[in-house]
Amino acid sequence: MAGFSDYLENELLDHVFRNSAYSQPATVYVGLFTAAPSDAGGGTEVSGGGYVRKAVTFGAAAGGAISNSAEVDFGTTTGAWGTVTHFGIFDAESGGNLLAWDALTAEKTIGSGDPVSIPIGDLDVSLD
């Protein structure tokens, strides 16, 4: 995993070392990018063509890592999304805070009418 966002790093540090409450989001969402975000956010998230962030469910952590326990189905596009290069995990379906992000193993050009999904176990988040 390329990185946790500055937001999440600060929340976790305060939670663990300052006994400050961190309320985990009820749902986390995966978003797709055509230009990389950074720990501070930014990047270019896909927009248009039927794109919306999708809820993602993770299995239990093991060995310092977790992965999605169900397929993440973005459906079939209604317009071209461009070349998707990165993903981000957010605490809201729109807006909200970027929690973590990384590059895709392989960039993917998404055209109109393409089905887009992330198979079970292919979205990994790890700590070391």
7 occurs within a structural domain: yes
Does the structure show a pLDDT above 80 at 128? no
Residue 38 confidence (pLDDT) above 70: yes
Report yes or no on 122 lying in a domain: no
Burial class (CB in 10 A: 0-12, 13-18, 19+), 36: middle
Q: What is the mean pLDDT of residues 5-32?
A: 93
- Cβ atoms of residues 106 and 85 within 8 Å: no
Give one word for 75, left, alpha or beta, with left for phi > 0 and alpha for psi -120 to 50. Answer: left
Tens-digit pLDDT profile for residues 85-117: 999 999 999 999 999 999 999 999 999 999 999
Residue 59 lies inside a defined structural domain of this protein: yes
**Band (1; pLDDT cuts 50, 70, 90):** low
Residue 125: inside a domain: no
- State how many domains the chain has: 1
Domain that holds residue 102: 3-113
Close Cβ partners of 15 (under 8 Å, ≥ 6 residues apart)? 21, 22
Residue 91 lies in a domain: yes
